[in-house]
A and B are shown apart, each in its own frame.
Chain A
Amino acid sequence: MNSFISSYWGMYAVQMLLHSVIASVLIDCAFVAWDLRSPRVKQRFRFMVIFLPVVSFPMFQLLFPGRGDVYFRLGSLLDSNRWLFLEVWGGVPVLKVLLVIPAITAAVFVLQELVPIVISQLEQMREAGETVDDEVDGPMARKVAGAMAGLPFNENCVEIFDDEDLVLFSNTGFNPRIYVSTGLIKSFSTDHLQAAFAHEIGHIQRSRKPTLILAYLIRTLMFYNPVAMVEFRKLAQEEEKVCDDIAIALTGKPEAVVEAVNMLRPAPEEFIPAKHRRSFREIVSAFEQYSLDVLLKSRVQRIGQSLRSEPDWGVPYFITMTLIIGINYYVV
């Protein structure tokens, strides 16, 4: 392990993690300093946390080979070796203790991000070309057609499937489609349905500029990095907010978007574990529902605030990037 840590790839792995921590802190500072709230702008900043740590180490080493030697470490802001080889609890290096964090992060990445995407892709390939529900009753089809009226999307590309739960999602790509459950059509008014469809159209439109996919691909290189995982999830959450803004722009009905998002929030009993709920799976499920509720609530609150035009972000972006690169240069 000692040999690996002091090798090129070991230093790369360690510095990628440290640099993403510092980048994450600095972009949060930038949000506060310049009062940046626009989800589009925040996404651009968060993308730095995913992208810069991957390229910074090879670039630094290429431009300044002396940065890899021990003398540079003597004058650095933070020398990771000092912490990694610090012995605690009877001679165990901190490195061995800290290895738990990337190990858990890698496991979470595989189980929560990689496997579900592979399964979803396989399902999409299997279901391609199939009509989800051929026999849609008239009133339901008319309601969908009414909601789609005026939206820039072909209503024939909306697939209805038989499910009493409130489910709505879209697939992007060359043949984009919106999938909606019968339960959601029944529960939502035409205005709510229109807002929900407009949100999905936002996802489809934005998939033509696949920043998230690029971020995901870069982020997979840092599969062990908890900061990259958190930042990628925040990036995805900002995407939902961007699509809310698109939905408002397409429908001109912010109240309908707020109400539609509110209707998707889980009921409190779903995330407050009752006394009889003791199993691990139930606790995990309650936690997931709670997280979903927090996310949806934050979207509602943001839409509720007055919408402002996108602020001037160019100079703050440049300054933040310069600070990240400048500080990370001295973190080895």
Chain B
Amino acid sequence: MFTAEVKITLKKTVADPQGLTVQHALESLGFTGLAGVRMGKFIILQLNAEDEVKAKVEAEEMSHKLLANLIIEDFSIEVYPESNRGVKQS
């Protein structure tokens, strides 16, 4: 069993009104060091793939087909063996 973590963000060229609103809220709380805030989605997939490579290929296919809209979004994927979830593989 593998865990694929899919991170989906709006493309840099696409305005993010939600991120901007959060930035303004943080600034009004006194956090002055912000150069920007971008919001996105984080999706955790549990995959019964044979190995890590196959798990990643499958997660990529899923992201292309459904999870991300590539007109406005980019995605990145990290795959971990289920037992090591959250521990980055070298």
A and B together in one complex:
no
Q: B residues near A, CB below 8 A?
A: none
